[in-house]
Amino acid sequence: MFKVEGENDYEVDSLLITEEQFMSFFDRHKHLNPIYETNDVFRGSYVMLDPLGRFFQNSKGHIEYSRSILDVDPLEALAEVGWNREKFVKRGGIYEW
């Protein structure tokens, strides 16, 4: 569960678990080869685009939007939301097709 201010913060606390609880769950189920990410790995490492052509990011605990790629260069817009390329690459975000 990932808490995002202004999105799901109104009733999420009862669903939150510790990283220790999360890793315990993973260890019990690792024989199933699950794909998992901690909140730290998730935060800031995804490239997400909304229907208006804006990148959005959760790296600061709340959603931030860039200007639309219809109005500015996509790389400039991506830089506006603090996307972390290093984390993206480290978590395996570049796929071999």
Judge whether 78 lies within some domain: yes
Residues contacting residue 82 through CB under 8 Å, at least 6 positions apart: 44, 57, 59, 60, 64
Judge whether 54 lies within some domain: yes
* pLDDT tens, residue by residue, 39-90: 788 788 888 899 999 999 877 777 889 999 999 999 999 989 988 889 889 8
Judge whether 77 lies within some domain: yes
Structure-model confidence comparison of residues 14 and 54, the more confident one: 54
Please answer whether residues 12 and 20 qualify as being in contact, where contact means their C-beta atoms are separated by less than 8 angstroms. Answer: no
Judge whether 8 lies within some domain: no
Judge whether 96 lies within some domain: no
Range of the domain at 49: 13-90
Judge whether 97 lies within some domain: no
**How many domains does the structure of the chain reveal?**
1
Report the distance separating Cα 6 and Cα 15, nearest Å: 16
